[in-house]
Amino acid sequence: MALFDRKTAGDGDRVIGTSDAAASTLSVAVVENAFVERVYEKLASVYDLTFGPTLHAGRVQAIQRMAVAPGSSILEVGVGTGINIPLYPRTCSVVGVDFSASMLEKAREKIARKSIPNVRLLQMDAAAMTFPDDTFDIVYAPYLISVVPDPVRVAREMRRVCKPGGRIVFLNHFRSDNAIMSRAEQMISPLTVHIGFKADLDLPGFLQQAQLTPVSIEKVNIPRIWSLVTCVKH
């Protein structure tokens, strides 16, 4: 039985249904919060230069696809240095959370420098957020889910704090469908965590275990090895 039954949803998009993917291994790499914090303390001062331009197209496309309505409440999980913050419409309210104090310091500097009034930043563990249930219209994790110790727990927290009918959005690299590429990603994943991400996170297993059904999956950036995954909370 295939993990997904696929059908085309539009140019570049696909809609998928889950089966018994929960049995699959999500990644060969294992990380802890302390390790993640050390990695991003080192990356904080150079993140915008190293990961900014190369991944920027995906960030822009993600926020365009959100079609943020005036008055919407958005939670960005893993706000990092605040590189996305200038992209949001000023007519919405944004809360950004991150585990790394060093990254949040850079984000606060950016907000002050650009005089952005509609963003609030909080230091928080994405796997144990303190927000009430059903708080946000959109919950968005850009380039985050493959570096956290427990991606499924983070995704379930994102679902919990999202309002019914709201959207849960992931922008991330996931393991390739190609068998050769998949094997290569599994081989290098224990190394790529040292620069901030697991290279082999399994999308079908992740979605199944997080109890999320995507309405669209779109490839973004160049090369197109990154996925923009949108789910709706029912």
Tell me the pLDDT tens digit for each residue of 71-82. 999 999 999 999
What average pLDDT is seen over the chain?
Answer: 86
User: Using an 8 Å Cβ cutoff, are 92 and 68 in contact?
Assistant: yes
What domain range includes position 49? 5-232
pLDDT digits (tens, 9 = 90+) for 40-81: 677 778 888 888 899 999 999 999 999 999 999 999 999 999
State residue 12's pLDDT score.
41
For the chain, what is the radius of gyration of the CA atoms?
A: 17
Res. 221: pLDDT tops 90: yes
Amino acid at 230: T
pLDDT for residue 227 is more than 80: yes
Model pLDDT for residues 189-215, shown as the tens digit of each residue: 777 776 667 888 999 999 999 999 999
**How many domains are contained in the chain?**
1
Q: Is the pLDDT of residue 19 over 60?
A: no
The mean per-residue pLDDT over the stretch 9-30 comes to 48
In this prediction, residue 152 carries a pLDDT of 96
Indicate the pLDDT class of residue 158, thresholds 50, 70 and 90.
very high
**Residue 147 half-sphere exposure toward CB, CA atoms < 13 A:** 28
From residue 147, alpha-carbon distances to 9, 68, 141, 167, 233 in Å are 29, 26, 11, 21, 23
Please report the pLDDT score of residue 25 as a whole number. 67
pLDDT of residue 78: 96
Is pLDDT of 15 > 60?
no
Q: What is the pLDDT of residue 39?
A: 73
Q: What is the pLDDT of residues 115-153, one digit of tens each?
A: 999 999 999 999 999 999 999 999 999 999 988 889 999
CATH code at position 96: 3.40.50.150
- Which residues are bridge partners to 17 per DSSP? 5
Written as six digits, the tokens of 135 are 């708080």
| Ramachandran bin of 38, using left for φ above 0, alpha for ψ from -120 to 50, beta for the remaining angles | alpha
If pLDDT is split at 50, 70 and 90, which confidence band does 160 have? very high
Reply yes or no on whether the pLDDT at 20 is more than 60. Answer: no
* Residue 210: other Cβ atoms inside 10 A: 23
